[in-house]
Structure 1
Amino acid sequence: MSTKLTALLCSAAIAVAATGVASAEDWYPYSVESWDPPFDMASPRSSLDYTPLEAASQPWEICVSFPHMKDAYWLGVNYGVSEEAKRLGVKMQLVEAGGYTELNTQISQIEDCVAAGADAVVIGAISFDGLNNIVSEVRGRDIPVIDVINGMSSPELSAKSLVSFGEMGAKAGAFLAEQHPEGSDAVKAAWFPGPAGAGWVEAGNTGFTGAIEGSAIELVETKYGDTGKEAQAKLVEDTLEAHPDLNYIVGTAVTAEAAVPILRARGLTDQIKIVSYYYTPGVDQGIRRGQILAAPTDSTVIQGRIAIDQAVRILEGEDYEKHVGPALYVVTQDSHADFDPSSTLAPDGFRPVFRVE
């Protein structure tokens, strides 16, 4: 995925993003980027204000498939898809596979959804390539398939609502590289990109490693693993044992959240700093409290909302954007006061919604 765009100044990017933030009932228009030709993150892109339909013409049945619901990142996407289904007046069934090792479960759940009468399918993919056969089968029945958040390689997809995780990783890497440019004192970083084989993880890895190339950052460890908190905590513990002179932990939001109490317990909060390459409530809290340095946000809630709107537009024969995603920007301890979380985080107290009638 492309990391060619010049990073926007943080303050300017926040101002751009803020123009798209509105109440849950009136979240649009929202500033997004559109790729053309679609489905290639290296394609040229243009900026536009995304405006969804006011309402669906009938209560379509939308099936939504997620890798898991283990962390608040996917809770934010869940909030987006469920609220947009309610706003548009369509039905939604959410299924979650239980983790990034459960590709066969995700495939079976999608098959069951379609057999139960789904009019469209929205997929947060476990694997970049592993769902292509089921996508082909579903599309063969003239059912739209929307790729949300993670990315799939199938050319038969109907639309994509996602950003470049390559650029997410690159923004995290660029943030560090700016702190430690070539010629400054060397620092050691450990990198935790997420579960091996997932499209977003491979892209994020490429973006991060490319962004720190030529800087004073020495990447001493790369550890892949599921984004459950226990799994990431174990990876962090193992890395600290192997590299007592570490300076940075960089990785998934779950990694960052897990690392905070571990570093505190070991008395390492002054020595080792934390950066996440995507945004969750725990990361937001960590930045606010000075425990996490920074994280880029991909406006997770908005990606979920747009995916539902794309599905309804296709079903109703309306014009639709084939490949869009919110503009990215980095939230730091300095800029946090200007960050409006309503595009990215589910509200406090929100519980997972698996069915909208």
Structure 2
Amino acid sequence: MKHMLTALTASAAVALVMSGSANAQEWYPYPVEVWDPPFDMASPRTSVDYTPLEAAAEKWDICVSFPHMKDAYWLGVDYGVTEEAKRLGVKANVIEAGGYTELNNQISQIEDCVSAGADAVIIGAISFDGLNNLVAELASKDIPVIDVINGMSSDQLSAKSLVSFGEMGAKAGEFLATEHPSGGEAAKVAWFPGPAGAGWVEAGNTGFQGAIEGSAIELVDTKYGDTGKEAQAKLVEDTLEAYPDLDYIVGTAVTAEAAVPILRARGLTDQVKIVSYYYTPGVDQGISRGQILAAPTDSTVVQGRIAVDQAVRILEGQDYLKHVGPALYVVTQENHGEFDPSSTLAPDGFRPVFSVE
């Protein structure tokens, strides 16, 4: 694997990301972290420089399953997956289940995709445990399964292209804890981690709560819900009614985006501040306009690209990294000007792509 990877320090990794290494034409080499042993977020990590294959040796057929395409976060993953499929010269069939309540739909869609001849499957999982039987079934047929973004508990996965959402939550929590350290000015926070039961949500919740422990943050409420705009807007409205003295809304990117106009309409923009624990175009716009304080980025587009490269490497018997994720960093109003959006966001005007031939 040495020919593929070169060591890179964490600080250099961030500098490289911030300086714009991930333009659409040549997104690599890209600073990532590798977990070893793989599939355990508590494992030791190494910072390396990820370089994908130049091209696939065959026109492999890759099935890609997402929970939904209701927000720009998954559009970014779609952009990364489909652009990398084009760059490598493989087919991609992208399916979306319709939301985090649609586990059975996700399973049946993947089964149909495999029946139609998929060589490998990339899954953005609706449930941490709920697809394990399917993964085992695919593994028994020697069909590689790559876990992208959300996380699954199966030990029969071929690879993971994802970050620790626990650390994403922790990064948001650390940002607040720095603003309100122990003994400092107290702050009331409502927290919106996303849909209950999803692996990334449980991890994000644990990370966030751990990071604010011992600070002057008072967590007044935790509200779970689907990451549709309407669902999150209703949660925000209900919370503002219940806690008129709230200081912060912290949560999913959809929560943050929904909160901006609600706070404006209620005349609360100066009182209640917003932090997201992941990154979307709406969050990017909110930070640039001074409406959202900060958000960590997990380089969503790059996660999608790496998942496709992993799938091709596995199919072709090449060296590959089993558990890899882009280095995390927090984008704030202060450093926003240095942020390279092509690592994380689909281009303006991008529409979902469901098929690459």
Superposition TM-score, scaled by structure 1 size = 0.96
Whole-Å separation in 2 of the counterparts to 1:182 and 1:135: 45
Q: Deviations over 1:92-131 (max 9, x none)?
A: 0000000000000000001001110000000000000000
CA RMSD of aligned residues (A): 1.3
Count of residue pairs the alignment pairs up: 349
Whole-Å separation in 1 of the counterparts to 2:331 and 2:226: 25
Is 1:13–1:328's contact at 8 Å kept on the other side of the alignment? no
Is 1:20–1:29's contact at 8 Å kept on the other side of the alignment? no
Q: Which SS does the other structure have where 1:202 is aligned?
A: helix
Is 1:79–1:352's contact at 8 Å kept on the other side of the alignment? yes
Whole-Å separation in 2 of the counterparts to 1:349 and 1:196: 31
Whole-Å separation in 2 of the counterparts to 1:105 and 1:98: 8
Q: How does 1:1-357 map to 2 (within 5 A)?
A: 14-18=14-18, 21-357=21-357
Whole-Å separation in 2 of the counterparts to 1:86 and 1:28: 15
Which stretches in structure 1 are left out of the alignment for 5+ residues? 1-7
Is 1:37–1:44's contact at 8 Å kept on the other side of the alignment? yes
Using the TM superposition, give the Cα deviation of residue 332 of structure 1 relative to its aligned residue in structure 2, in angstroms. Answer: 0.3
Is 1:14–1:338's contact at 8 Å kept on the other side of the alignment? no
Superposition TM-score, scaled by structure 2 size = 0.96
1:85 corresponds to which letter in structure 2? A
Is 1:19–1:31's contact at 8 Å kept on the other side of the alignment? no
Whole-Å separation in 1 of the counterparts to 2:177 and 2:311: 40
Q: Which SS does the other structure have where 1:92 is aligned?
A: strand
Is 1:248–1:273's contact at 8 Å kept on the other side of the alignment? yes
Runs of 4+ that moved beyond 6 A: none
2:134 corresponds to which letter in structure 1? I
Is 1:14–1:339's contact at 8 Å kept on the other side of the alignment? no
Is 2:61–2:92's contact at 8 Å kept on the other side of the alignment? yes
Which stretches in structure 2 are left out of the alignment for 5+ residues? 1-8
Whole-Å separation in 1 of the counterparts to 2:215 and 2:12: 25
Is 1:294–1:332's contact at 8 Å kept on the other side of the alignment? yes
Q: Deviations over 1:19-59 (max 9, x none)?
A: 67232121111110000000000000001110111001111
Whole-Å separation in 2 of the counterparts to 1:52 and 1:25: 13
Whole-Å separation in 1 of the counterparts to 2:291 and 2:23: 29
2:159 corresponds to which letter in structure 1? A
Judging changes above 3 Å, is the alpha-carbon distance between structure 1 residues 192 and 57 closer, same or farther for their aligned structure 2 residues? same
Is 1:287–1:294's contact at 8 Å kept on the other side of the alignment? yes
Using the TM superposition, give the Cα deviation of residue 286 of structure 1 relative to its aligned residue in structure 2, in angstroms. Answer: 0.1
